[in-house]
């Protein structure tokens, strides 16, 4: 139990306190109480930076469930610390922003409790060393995200979005758990560090591709990669602070964290590297293309988030190549540095952009770009922040987005030059995909600035627009300032945070000494690529009306959302149909299933094991046995063929009495006695039932013939006979009845052996059979006395 | 060793069996319920005889209680049926009628 464990669980503890405070304190905005928590955690984590960057990772352990290996091991290396600082730092800003954004009339208690639970979950994800704990926190993020998306639960769209995100992320999380289990089977450990240490076992294992695919499914669903990105745009129904925090800065980066964390384990696998690279690049392209057509501010930002996540994912894939192939390692180290740097950059500018979108929504009453316009003079501060963050997103100097995009393009160009076993001929695709994606990124960034702040006033806004209050402006101002600071002085990050993080992704101990500079010289293809992006992007934006029509071809039927909705509908319909088809409600159908399976599996068993039947140890058959069997058979035949229920009952009685005769012939007088008495009683009861049949259903008709039923009954009979014969032919041990015969008088002082067994040797059975009779008697009494209430009687009851 | 007694017993069993077959025919065919009830009563008595013959064949006395039981059941059953045919109910509940 170290201080860090307390730090991880501090938000949950605070959540409990806040739930109590919420009841008693009504005057102060609840956010002020919540603000202390992330601020304290962030301050504590900042103090850890020098230790981690100079002395290497910290490791604390706390035994939780040692028997199954689920220990709360905290492992703080560069990567975990980077994410933890992002979470707590942006968490602080988001809580501050939410104080201005949410009014006191909202259910603030719920909001901050969910948010703090989420914070604990997220800190747990990035700091856990144990995969089971990682999975635990991972699902906790899904659940708290679900709660936050559905914060305004009276809106249908909130519920829809929350359900969708829950289904998709839970699916991925569950797959990821499978991946972890496979890893555990391979390496025999649940600790990520020990998995990295045992990477040889993973390389040799045949199961590794399975683990790769399962873990990647978890990462892709959480980080909204193609084709699982569809939940993120629908998660925009959440309050804007939640969108800013969860769906841009922290939760969606959990998948990136997972990929980065497992790069040392899986990077040897080509499947891992190429999947990440290609999926990331395609997500980048697809989402940036789709972001351009969005009208909703948050819609643009959601697709933008997806595309930026794809960018980081592809960089991580390129970084995986550094471990995979020996091809010019330093180049691919650049890719990892770029990925880490862009994680930070994206968190800053996208958090700020979401907050700006929230401000616009708050101050104008709409988020539709079509209705907004010409707000430059009315909201100057917001405009300044938008310029900074959107241009950073577009990748223009001197902001930090430029630097990471430059590194990204560089890495992609290097990738096209490198020579790899797979896809070598296609490697020229990577820079092209990257550049096209960046062009669209540029277009929607410009659209964001131009559509909202420039141009003419539209006067269509529901509210009269004005500048936001200071409380809402502080957080985006801080983030925008960070964008500028990181853009101008990127190296304050490189030694302290980026290098340790990149080192833990690459699992090396050698210092990287990264230097991020603005100017790489004219020979750098990335520079020309950036210029091309700006030129083409501007041209595309200026002539947007002449090419936007291509989005009209993007019909509803071809989107993944349509596929998801139809899948949901058809899975419901299909399961309903399957259930209705099987669960008919008729007992006869269930009997067919039960006996049908009995026959099928009986035949299968017979087929595989054989039925050893020999007729050696059977006794002689007497004439009276034959006669009785014939009587029983005739009675059975009459039961099946007769039209009258009465005849059936009598014949059933006849069978019962024949059985009593059998008992008599086989020298079982007690059984014969009981059988006679019982048969009389049951026949009488049958007759009572018959007598009370309603007049209408008393009409007599023969039992219908159904071929299936016939086949199944014949099958059941044949199998039971065969099994009986086989069992009788294979007596493995002597009967224990000898003991009873010898001791019935000696030990129990009785002459009637059956009765002695019933009450002495095995008295317990008799006791409980007596109980069964008692229960049956009470049950019949209750049934007869109970007033069966119809619907009409209900009214009387309550009157 | 088939003694004289055994031959007699077996002949008796056959005769009893034939008579039971005849009764079964009457039970199935019997035009009225009354015919069937009387036949069943006779059937029970024949069954008692059959049982005693069987116990002679098996050389045992344990089946005597079975014979007694058949007699009791046959009697009770016939009485019950008779009452049913007469009144429509077997167990009368006077309080039900009064209230």
Q: What is the mean predicted confidence (pLDDT) over A126-147?
A: 92
What tokens does B20 get? 């039971």
pLDDT at A45 over 70: yes
CA distance A308 to A329: 24
Position A306 scores a pLDDT of 92
The whole-chain average pLDDT of chain A stands at: 85
Query: Nearest residue of B to residue A683 by CA position?
Result: B77
pLDDT at A328 over 60: no
Higher pLDDT, A281 or A249: A281
Question: Facing residues of A130 across strands?
Answer: A191
Residue pointed to by tokens 């006979």: A721
Would you call A667 and B58 a contact, using CB atoms and an 8 Å cutoff? yes
Position A70 scores a pLDDT of 85
Q: What is the mean predicted confidence (pLDDT) over A140-164?
A: 92
pLDDT at A597 over 60: yes
Query: A585: how many CB neighbours lie within 10 A of its CB?
Result: 7
Distance from CA of B53 to the nearest CA of A (A): 11
Distance from CA of A677 to the nearest CA of B (A): 8
CA distance A85 to A38: 10
Question: Facing residues of A255 across strands?
Answer: none
Q: What is the mean predicted confidence (pLDDT) over A765-793?
A: 84
Q: Per-residue DSSP letters for A40-99?
A: HHHHHHHHHHHHHHHH--EEE---SBGGGTB---EEE-HHHHHHHHHHHHHHHHHHHHHH
Percent of chain A predicted with pLDDT > 70: 92
CA distance A174 to A186: 19
Q: Which of B55, B70, B80 sits opposite A676 (nearest CB)?
A: B70
Q: How confident is the model at residue A145 (pLDDT cuts 50, 70, 90)?
A: very high
Q: Domain residue spans in chain A? A: 1-202+240-266, 343-545, 580-695+703-798
In order of A74, A211, A216, A321, the CA distances from A193 in angstroms are 11, 17, 19, 20
Q: How confident is the model at residue A273 (pLDDT cuts 50, 70, 90)?
A: confident
Collect all residues from A whose CB is shorter than 8 A from any CB in B.
Answer: 624, 627, 638, 647, 650, 654, 657, 660-661, 664-665, 667, 669, 672-673, 676-677, 680, 684
Q: How confident is the model at residue A34 (pLDDT cuts 50, 70, 90)?
A: confident
pLDDT at A741 over 80: yes
Position A798 scores a pLDDT of 44
Would you call A669 and B73 a contact, using CB atoms and an 8 Å cutoff? no
With a CB cutoff of 8 Å and minimum separation 6, the contacts of A300 are A291, A294, A369, A444, A447, A448
Q: What is the mean predicted confidence (pLDDT) over A582-609?
A: 90
Position B99 scores a pLDDT of 45
Q: What is the mean predicted confidence (pLDDT) over A617-632?
A: 83
CA angle in degrees (0–180, nearest 5) for A83-A7-A511: 40
From the list A214, A153, A164, A160, the residue with the least C-alpha distance to A185 is A214
Would you call B73 and A680 a contact, using CB atoms and an 8 Å cutoff? yes
Q: Which chain A residues are closer than 8 Å to B28 by Cβ?
A: 638, 647
pLDDT at A60 over 90: no
Burial environment of residue A777 by CB neighbours within 10 A (0 to 12, 13 to 18, 19 or more): exposed
Position A323 scores a pLDDT of 64
Would you call A624 and B73 a contact, using CB atoms and an 8 Å cutoff? no
Q: Are A4 and A38 in contact (CB under 8 A)?
A: no
In order of A616, A737, B90, the CA distances from A725 in angstroms are 12, 21, 46
Q: What is the mean predicted confidence (pLDDT) over A257-262?
A: 91
**A495-544 pLDDT, tens per residue?**
778 888 888 887 777 666 666 666 666 667 778 888 888 888 888 888 87
Q: How confident is the model at residue B2 (pLDDT cuts 50, 70, 90)?
A: low
Q: Which of A624, A654, A673 sits opposite B69 (nearest CB)?
A: A673
Position A467 scores a pLDDT of 76
Q: Per-residue DSSP letters for chain B?
A: ---HHHHHHHHHHHHHHHHHHHHHHHHHH-SSHHHHHHHHHHHHHHHHHHHHHHHHHHT-STTHHHHHHHHHHHHHHHHHHHHHHHHS-SS--HHHHH-
Q: How confident is the model at residue A796 (pLDDT cuts 50, 70, 90)?
A: very low
Q: Are A31 and A91 in contact (CB under 8 A)?
A: no
The whole-chain average pLDDT of chain B stands at: 83
Give the DSSP H or E segment for A683: helix A669-691
Asked if the ipTM is above 0.85, the reply is: no
Residue pointed to by tokens 């390692």: A329
Q: How confident is the model at residue A797 (pLDDT cuts 50, 70, 90)?
A: very low
pLDDT at A31 over 50: yes
Query: pTM of this prediction?
Result: 0.80
pLDDT at B98 over 80: no
CA distance A761 to A747: 10
Q: Are A208 and A202 in contact (CB under 8 A)?
A: yes
pLDDT at A575 over 90: yes
Q: Are A210 and A181 in contact (CB under 8 A)?
A: no
Q: Are A702 and A680 in contact (CB under 8 A)?
A: no
């Amino acid at each position: 139990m170290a201080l860090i464990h307390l730090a991880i669980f501090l938000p949950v503890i605070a959540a409990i306190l806040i739930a109590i405070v919420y009841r008693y304190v009504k005057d102060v905005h609840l956010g002020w109480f919540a603000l202390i928590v992330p601020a304290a955690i962030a301050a504590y984590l900042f103090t850890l930076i020098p230790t981690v960057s100079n002395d290497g990772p910290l490791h604390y352990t706390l035994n939780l469930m040692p028997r199954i290996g689920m220990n709360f091991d905290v492992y703080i290396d560069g990567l975990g610390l980077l994410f933890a600082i992002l979470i707590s730092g942006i968490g602080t800003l988001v809580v501050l922003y939410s104080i201005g954004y949410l009014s006191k009339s909202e259910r603030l208690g719920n909001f901050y409790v969910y948010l703090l639970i989420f914070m604990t979950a997220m800190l747990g994800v990035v700091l856990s060393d144990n995969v089971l704990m990682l999975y635990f926190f991972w699902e906790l993020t899904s659940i708290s995200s679900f709660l936050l998306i559905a914060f305004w639960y009276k809106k249908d769209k909130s519920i829809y979005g929350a359900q969708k995100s829950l289904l998709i992320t839970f699916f991925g999380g569950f797959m990821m758990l499978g991946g972890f289990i496979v890893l555990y089977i391979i390496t025999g450990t649940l600790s990520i560090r020990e998995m990295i240490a045992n990477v040889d076992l993973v390389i040799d294992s045949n199961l590794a591709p399975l683990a790769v695919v399962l873990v990647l499914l978890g990462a892709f669903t959480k980080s909204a990669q193609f084709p699982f990105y569809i939940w993120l745009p629908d998660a925009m129904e959440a309050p804007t602070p939640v969108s800013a925090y969860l769906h841009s800065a922290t939760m969606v980066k959990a998948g990136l964290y997972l990929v980065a964390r497992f790069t040392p384990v899986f990077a040897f696998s080509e499947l891992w590297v190429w999947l990440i690279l290609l999926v990331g690049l395609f997500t980048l392209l697809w989402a940036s293309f789709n972001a351009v057509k969005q009208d909703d501010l948050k819609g643009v930002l959601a697709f933008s988030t997806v595309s930026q996540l794809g960018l980081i994912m592809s960089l991580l894939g390129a970084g995986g190549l550094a471990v995979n192939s020996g091809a010019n390692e330093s180049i691919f180290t650049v890719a990892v540095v770029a990925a880490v740097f862009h994680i930070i950059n994206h968190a800053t500018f996208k958090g700020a952009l979401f907050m700006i979108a929230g401000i616009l929504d708050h101050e104008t009453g709409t988020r539709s770009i079509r209705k907004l316009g010409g707000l430059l003079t009315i909201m100057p501060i917001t405009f300044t922040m938008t310029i900074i963050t959107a241009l950073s997103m577009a990748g223009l100097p001197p902001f930090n987005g430029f630097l990471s995009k430059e590194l990204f393009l560089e890495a992609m160009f290097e990738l096209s030059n490198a020579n790899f076993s797979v896809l070598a001929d296609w490697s020229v695709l990577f820079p092209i995909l990257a550049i096209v994606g960046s062009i669209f990124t540029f277009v929607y960034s410009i659209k964001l600035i131009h559509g909202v702040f420039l141009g003419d006033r539209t006067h269509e806004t529901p509210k009269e627009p004005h500048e936001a209050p200071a409380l809402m402006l502080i957080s985006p101002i801080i983030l925008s300032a960070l964008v500028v600071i990181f853009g101008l002085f990127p190296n304050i990050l490189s030694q302290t945070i980026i290098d340790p993080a990149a080192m833990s992704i690459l699992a090396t101990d050698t210092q990287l000494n990264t230097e991020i500079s603005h100017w790489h010289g004219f020979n750098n293809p990335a520079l020309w690529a950036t210029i091309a992006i700006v030129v083409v992007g501007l041209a595309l934006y200026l002539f947007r009306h002449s090419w936007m029509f291509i989005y009209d071809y993007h019909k509803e039927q071809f989107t993944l959302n349509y596929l998801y909705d139809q899948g949901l509908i058809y899975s419901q319909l299909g399961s309903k149909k399957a259930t209705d088809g099987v669960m008919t409600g008729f007992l006869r159908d269930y009997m067919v299933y039960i006996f049908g399976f009995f026959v099928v599996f009986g035949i299968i068993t017979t087929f595989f094991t054989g039925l050893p039947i020999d007729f050696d140890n059977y006794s002689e058959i007497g004439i009276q046995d034959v006669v009785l069997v014939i009587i029983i058979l005739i009675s059975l035949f009459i039961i099946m063929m007769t039209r009258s229920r009465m005849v059936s009952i009598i014949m059933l009685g006849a069978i019962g009495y024949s059985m009593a005769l059998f008992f008599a012939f086989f020298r079982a007088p007690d059984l014969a006695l009981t059988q006679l008495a019982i048969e009389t009683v049951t026949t009488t009861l049958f007759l009572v039932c018959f007598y009370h049949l309603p007049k209408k259903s008393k009409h007599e008709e023969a039992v219908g013939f159904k071929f299936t039923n016939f086949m199944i009954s014949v099958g059941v009979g044949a199998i039971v006979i065969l099994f009986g014969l086989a069992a009788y032919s294979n007596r493995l041990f002597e009967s224990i009845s000898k003991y009873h015969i010898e001791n019935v008088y000696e030990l129990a002082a009785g002459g009637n052996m059956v009765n002695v067994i019933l009450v002495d040797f095995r008295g317990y059975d008799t006791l409980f059979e007596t109980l069964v009779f008692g229960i049956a008697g009470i049950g019949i009494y209750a049934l007869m006395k109970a007033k069966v209430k119809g619907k009409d009687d209900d009214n009387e009851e309550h009157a | 060793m088939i003694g004289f007694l055994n031959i007699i017993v077996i002949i008796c069993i056959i005769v009893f069996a034939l008579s039971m077959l005849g009764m079964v025919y009457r039970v199935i065919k019997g035009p009225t319920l009354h015919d069937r009830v009387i036949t069943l009563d006779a059937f029970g008595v024949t069954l008692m005889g059959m049982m005693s013959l069987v116990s002679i064949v098996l050389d045992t006395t344990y089946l005597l209680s079975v014979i007694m039981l058949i007699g009791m059941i046959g009697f009770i059953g016939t009485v019950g049926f008779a009452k049913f045919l007469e009144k429509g109910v077997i167990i009368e509940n006077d309080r039900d009628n009064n209230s």
